């Protein structure tokens, strides 16, 4: 079965039973406020168009009781002209409403999507560890599309249809109050049905939108992991997982359709029955001479004009509930606590140069209560211009420790200083301009080789800096690509080998000549000969920076001036490579295993040659 990363983010629908849809939708006001004039204008135009439509039955009454009753052809033609002009006016007003809302609502959607993207960039890494990418993608695409549709149609027509129904009922009561009461008979059961429908539909709509996010995650993982799926022949199990999720979503959508058909049946059948009863009663009154034919025609025409405003209630409520759940999902992300920017300008402490970890402890925010911290009281000082190798067993917390320096995670206790400045007093922009990182698993973007590398420098870096960085990383292969450094590497850089991606990531780390360099086993995917060439070039870079390097191979350890051994969440030994080999059994054991591994790699490479 596929890796189900989406299970990290609970997709059980939020309890929507007690939430107010109106209160939820009001959270959209800050985004709508800049275009409120055009939206209010569009609503006014739509109300006016609807009221124009209600004048048509009154003209019909005048035509039937006047020119038709008196056999006046000229009056009939005049009435027809009035009806034509009213119809054209109604159509033009609705067209004007559409024109008023199209551009501003596209802008609202774009602003909300931009705000969501900026928020995602500011949220801590721990948030992205918990949430599946599909859930985030569905919020930025499907949910925002639902919100734009709600603002364009249901929001306006809930108001327009309410006004139309009220005005239409007043007109009918004014024509004949007894027939008006007959028409109003279904009002109570229709309102009760709407209340029940709204509560149930909200829960199902939320479940469907969460399931769309799950399905998006599965599709994304299948595309990005297509090599694994093909390599292990797992396409059938992946297809089965997709089919199961699709069937689950299909069932939820059918449940939505069932609820919608139920309310539609109620709000269509009862008013139609009331109109039929009013027709029979009105016909009897006309036959008895108690009601004019024109009045009955006007009454029934008004009742028929109210059919769509009444019948659309279920459809509009459904769209409103979907918009409310989309708003809820959108603000679940926007309400997450973003990274604090820090305060720039903190003073350095004398005698505290370089990188210093003072009693640093760290526990992941979602770790089970009572579990031991990943790091516990780490004390380490990397002197200015010094390179420190960090060594430890798998799972000892090396990667976590390196992630604390650029504040990808926040320390639970203790502090980290750069040249005496607590990193929490520095703005993240300043901190990350001074600290460059390269991770063991390199990430490249759908951009050119040059753009990927220069991402590690400020906007002034250009060709010379790019050439130097590629030379340090021994990434001369970039010049042999079809368009050289302008070659697009494709999504995730999967068009390149693992070693090529790792070298480009290393080039990105050194291109900006950072004061502090954090490398998480940056040479693990390289063959020994390429690694040796990279290390030779990297020594010149390390001479001008303060570096922390996670290392597994003895050859990488030898790049550093000193070595720190991380064990049990603490730094248990610090010294040169040769000192620790003599004095620390755990370190000697780690290096002995690494040397055996390197020797095996050398033999395999020689056999391949």
Average pLDDT of the residues in 566-585: 90
Q: How far, in whole angstroms, is CA 26 from its chain's centroid?
A: 20
The residue among 607, 575, 594 whose CA lies nearest residue 523 is 594
Mean per-residue pLDDT over the chain, rounded: 81
* Whole-angstrom distance, CA of residue 94 vs CA of residue 101: 11
Cβ atoms of 472 and 507 closer than 8 Å:
yes
Burial of 396 (0-12, 13-18, 19+ CB in 10 A): buried
Tokens of residue 128, six digits: 């992205």
* Whole-angstrom distance, CA of residue 359 vs CA of residue 378: 5
| 568: pLDDT strictly greater than 80 | yes
Fold of 5-334: ABC transporter transmembrane region fold (1.20.1560)
Q: Report residue 604's pLDDT band, with 50, 70 and 90 as the boundaries.
A: very low
CB-based contacts of 431, cutoff 8 Å, min separation 6: 342, 406, 407, 418, 423
pLDDT digit string (tens) for 313-352?
777 888 888 888 889 999 999 998 877 665 555 555 545 6
Cβ atoms of 559 and 542 closer than 8 Å:
yes
pLDDT digit string (tens) for 587-602?
888 888 655 455 444 4
The residues that bridge with 549 in the sheet, in sequence order, are 389, 519
Contacts of 22-29 with CB under 8 Å at 24 or more apart are 24/324, 24/327, 24/328, 25/150, 25/320, 25/323, 25/324, 25/327, 27/327, 27/331, 28/147, 28/151, 28/327
In the three-class reduction of DSSP (H, G, I as helix; E, B as strand; rest coil), residue 359 is classed as strand
Cβ atoms of 333 and 128 closer than 8 Å:
no
Cβ atoms of 428 and 407 closer than 8 Å:
yes
Helices 154-175 and 307-334 pack at an angle, to 10 degrees, of: 150
Q: Report residue 414's pLDDT band, with 50, 70 and 90 as the boundaries.
A: very high
In the three-class reduction of DSSP (H, G, I as helix; E, B as strand; rest coil), residue 382 is classed as strand
The residue among 238, 236, 205 whose CA lies nearest residue 219 is 238
Query: What sign results for the dihedral spanned by CA atoms 495, 499, 503, 506?
Result: positive
Strand order in the sheet with 355-362: 375-382, 355-362, 413-418, 421-422
The secondary structure of residue 10, as a DSSP letter, is -
pLDDT digit string (tens) for 133-170?
888 888 888 889 889 888 888 888 888 888 888 888 88
Q: Report residue 82's pLDDT band, with 50, 70 and 90 as the boundaries.
A: confident
* Whole-angstrom distance, CA of residue 461 vs CA of residue 454: 7
Cβ atoms of 90 and 49 closer than 8 Å:
yes
Distance set, CA 97 to CA 155, 466, 467 (Å): 13, 54, 57
Domain boundaries defined on the chain: 5-334, 355-608
Q: Do domains 5-334 and 355-608 have the same CATH topology?
A: no
* Whole-angstrom distance, CA of residue 69 vs CA of residue 521: 96
The secondary structure of residue 27, as a DSSP letter, is G
pLDDT of residue 525: 65
| 91: pLDDT strictly greater than 60 | yes
Strand order in the sheet with 387-391: 435-438, 516-520, 546-550, 387-391, 562-567, 570-575
User: What is the DSSP track for 520-547?
Assistant: ESTTTTS-HHHHHHHHHHHHHHHTTSEE
pLDDT digit string (tens) for 443-500?
888 888 888 888 888 766 677 888 888 888 888 888 888 888 888 887 666 678 778 8
* Whole-angstrom distance, CA of residue 462 vs CA of residue 425: 31
Please report which helix (H) or strand (E) contains residue 309, including its range: helix 307-334
Tokens of residue 400, six digits: 């976590």
How many helices, marked H, and strands, marked E, lie in the chain? Answer: 23, 10
Average pLDDT of the residues in 306-312: 80
Residue range 355-608, CATH number: 3.40.50.300
CB-based contacts of 595, cutoff 8 Å, min separation 6: 554
* Whole-angstrom distance, CA of residue 164 vs CA of residue 187: 15
| 357: pLDDT strictly greater than 90 | yes
Gyration radius of the chain's alpha carbons = 35
pLDDT of residue 607: 44
pLDDT of residue 608: 43
pLDDT of residue 18: 54
């Amino acid at each position: 079965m596929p890796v189900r990363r989406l299970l990290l983010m609970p997709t059980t629908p939020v309890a929507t039973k007690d939430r107010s849809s109106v209160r939820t939708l009001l959270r959209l006001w800050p985004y709508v406020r800049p275009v409120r004039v055009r939206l209010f204008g569009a609503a006014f135009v739509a109300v006016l168009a609807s009221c124009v439509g209600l004048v048509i039955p009154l003209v019909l009454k005048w035509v039937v009781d006047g020119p038709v009753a008196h056999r006046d052809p000229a009056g009939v033609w005049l009435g027809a002209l009035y009806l034509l002009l009213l119809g054209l006016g109604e159509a033009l007003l609705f067209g004007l409403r559409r024109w008023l809302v199209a551009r501003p609502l596209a802008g609202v959607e774009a602003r909300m999507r931009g705000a969501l993207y900026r928020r995602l960039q500011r949220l801590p890494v721990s948030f992205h560890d918990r949430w599946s990418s599909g859930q985030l993608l569905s919020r930025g695409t499907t949910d925002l599309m639902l919100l734009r549709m709600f603002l364009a149609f249901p929001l306006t027509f809930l108001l327009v249809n309410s006004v139309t129904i009220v005005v239409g009922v007043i007109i009918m009561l004014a024509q004949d109050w007894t027939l008006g009461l007959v028409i109003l008979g279904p009002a109570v059961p229709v309102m009760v049905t709407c209340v029940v429908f709204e509560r149930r539909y909200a829960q199902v709509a939320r479940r469907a939108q969460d399931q769309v996010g799950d399905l998006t995650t599965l599709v994304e993982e299948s595309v990005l992991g297509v090599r694994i799926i093909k390599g292990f022949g797992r396409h059938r199990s992946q297809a089965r997982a997709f089919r199961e999720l699709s069937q689950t979503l299909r069932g939820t959508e059918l449940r939505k359709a069932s609820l919608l058909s139920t309310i539609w049946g109620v709000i269509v059948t009862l008013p139609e029955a009331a109109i039929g009863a009013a027709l029979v009663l009105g016909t009897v009154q006309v036959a008895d001479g108690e009601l004019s034919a024109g009045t009955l025609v006007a009454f029934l025409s008004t009742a028929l004009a109210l059919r769509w405003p009444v019948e659309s209630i279920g459809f509009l409520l459904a769209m409103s509930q979907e918009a409310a759940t989309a708003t809820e999902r959108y603000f679940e992300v926007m309400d997450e606590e973003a990274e604090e920017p820090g305060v720039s300008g903190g003073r350095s402490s004398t005698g505290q140069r370089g990188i210093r970890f003072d009693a640093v402890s760290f526990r992941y925010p979602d770790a089970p209560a009572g579990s031991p911290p990943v790091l516990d009281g780490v004390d380490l000082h990397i002197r200015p211009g010094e390179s420190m190798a960090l060594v430890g067993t798998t799972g000892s917390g090396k990667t976590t420790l390196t992630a604390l320096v650029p504040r990808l995670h926040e320390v639970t206790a203790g502090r980290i200083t750069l040249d005496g400045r607590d990193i929490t007093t520095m703005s993240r922009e300043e901190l990350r301009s001074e600290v460059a990182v390269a991770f063991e698993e390199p990430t490249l973007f759908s951009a050119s080789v040059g753009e990927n590398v220069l991402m590690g420098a400020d906007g002034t870096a250009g060709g010379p800096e790019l050439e130097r960085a590629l030379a340090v990383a021994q990434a001369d292969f970039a010049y042999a690509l079809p368009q050289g450094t302008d070659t697009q590497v494709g999504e995730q850089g999967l068009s390149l080998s693992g070693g090529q991606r790792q070298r480009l990531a290393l080039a990105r780390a050194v291109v900006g000549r950072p004061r502090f360099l954090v490398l998480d086993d940056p040479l693990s995917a390289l063959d020994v000969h390429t690694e040796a060439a990279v290390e030779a070039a990297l020594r010149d870079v390390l001479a001008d920076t303060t570096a922390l390097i996670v290392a597994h191979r003895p050859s990488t350890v030898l790049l550093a001036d000193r070595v720190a051994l991380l064990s049990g969440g603490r730094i248990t030994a610090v010294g040169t490579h040769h000192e620790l080999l003599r004095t620390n059994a755990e370190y000697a054991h780690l290096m002995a295993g690494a040397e055996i591994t390197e020797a095996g790699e050398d033999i395999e490479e020689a056999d391949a040659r």
